[in-house]
Amino acid sequence: MMRELDPFKRYEKNPILTRDNVPYKCNTVFNAAACKFEDQYILILRIEDLYGHSHLTLARSDDGYNFKIDDKPWVLPSDDSYYNLYERYGIEDPRVTLLENKYYITYTAFGPYGPRLGIGYTEDFKTFHRIALVTEVDNKDGVLFPEKINGHYILINRPGGFGGQKGAIWISFSPDMIYWGKSKLLLAPEPGWGSHKIGASTPPIETRRGWLIFYHGVRWTGSGNLYRIGALLLDINDPSKIVGHTPHFIFGPNAPYERTGDVPNVVFPCGVIVEPDNTIKMYYGAADTCIALAEANIDDILDLCIEDTKDYHNNENRHKRF
């Protein structure tokens, strides 16, 4: 029986949120972090205002499909002189991780010197506490692991990828979530669907086979960038080691709302929720214009990571013999 190479099924009522659902004036809504809190589904939305600057606003749902957006923004660029220098043009692309009974949020701070990663937390989704700006520019696509491993907090990040340069996925370690180091390269772009740059999309999910992360790959085409999604599986005890990954993409722009928008041909997930039946709800920005939802079975994704990695390396070895 042939394995399913496109395991995600789009929600039939996509997109689930557009700017028409935002109760104040804005340009677009996209790239949302996702979690459960007090029996509700929470989305932390990136909303771009009419000036082209982004901030974060919350949306809430009882079923994971029908969301209501809060009446006003939740996190705006800080007025603090230190943070404002690096956040004044926007706060972008949040991811959320439940760790030590707090909801830690990584975000891209964008200012006149470029993008860098920030980390903050909330305990109640009312108050947001900044911890630090944890990278230099240019760095983004940060996701935190949901537990300390070998005494360290762990962050996936993506330095580079701007000004025509390639960008790869790196892993970094910290004793206190402020100072990060011992960085290692995890996965670099290769010719094909992610030939220009790749970056982590969603926080790690603990599975029986390792830490599962969805990542995006960008390919330059004659009509612009094309963003698609793959899966990466890391060793449960040493996440600097790759157990498997999908060398091909497993989700890409196909529907009209993914093909047409402010940035065409983009699917960009920032949040996933795993349900008790092992269904993954993946919330993604579509064409930088709206938010959509797709679902898959987690075991199907794991099988693709393991089996297709074997097939990929077998083909590589076969080619080397000729």
CATH code of the domain in which 267 resides: 2.115.10.20
Give per-residue pLDDT as tens, 235-257. Answer: 999 999 999 999 899 999 999 99
Q: How far apart are CA 215 and CA 268, in angstroms?
A: 9
- Does any domain span residue 269? yes
Give per-residue pLDDT as tens, 36-83. Answer: 999 999 999 999 999 999 999 999 999 999 999 999 999 999 999 999
Does the pLDDT of residue 307 top 90, yes or no? no
Note the pLDDT of residue 315: 57
Does the pLDDT of residue 230 top 80, yes or no? yes
Note the pLDDT of residue 320: 40
Does the pLDDT of residue 113 top 70, yes or no? yes
- Does any domain span residue 8? no
Note the pLDDT of residue 164: 81
- Does any domain span residue 29? yes
CB 296 within 8 A of CB 284: no
- State the CB neighbour count (10 A cutoff) for residue 284: 32
Give the helix, strand, coil percentages of the chain, each rounded to 5.
10, 50, 40
Does the pLDDT of residue 309 top 70, yes or no? no
Does the pLDDT of residue 311 top 70, yes or no? no
**Total count of domains within the chain:** 1
Per-residue burial over 24-53, b if 16 or more Cβ lie within 10 Å, else e, is eebbbbbbbbbbebeeebbbbbbbbbeeeb
- Does any domain span residue 10? no
Note the pLDDT of residue 162: 86
pLDDT band at 322 (very low <50, low <70, confident <90, very high): very low
Does the pLDDT of residue 5 top 90, yes or no? no
**Radius of gyration of the CA atoms of the chain, in A:** 19
pLDDT band at 308 (very low <50, low <70, confident <90, very high): low
- Does any domain span residue 5? no
- Does any domain span residue 96? yes
Dihedral class, residue 90 (left if φ above 0, else alpha if ψ from -120 to 50, else beta): left
- Does any domain span residue 2? no
Note the pLDDT of residue 1: 39
Note the pLDDT of residue 292: 98
Question: Could you tell me the maximum CA-CA distance found in the chain, to the nearest angstrom?
Answer: 63
179-190: average pLDDT: 96
- Does any domain span residue 7? no
Note the pLDDT of residue 321: 33
Note the pLDDT of residue 163: 82
- Please report how many Cα atoms fall inside a 13 Å half-sphere around the Cα of residue 200, on the Cβ side: 36
CB 199 within 8 A of CB 268: no
* Chain-centroid distance, C-alpha 6: 19
Instruction: Give the domain range for residue 218.
Output: 16-320
Lowest mean pLDDT among 17-21, 39-43, 219-223: 219-223
* Strand pairing report for 242-245 and 224-234: antiparallel
pTM, whole model, 2 decimals?
A: 0.95
Average pLDDT, the chain: 94
Q: How far apart are CA 152 and CA 175, in angstroms?
A: 5
Give per-residue pLDDT as tens, 144-166. Answer: 999 999 999 999 999 999 888 89
Q: Alpha-carbon dihedral of residues 271, 274, 278, 283, nearest 10 degrees?
A: -30
Note the pLDDT of residue 104: 98
Note the pLDDT of residue 310: 61
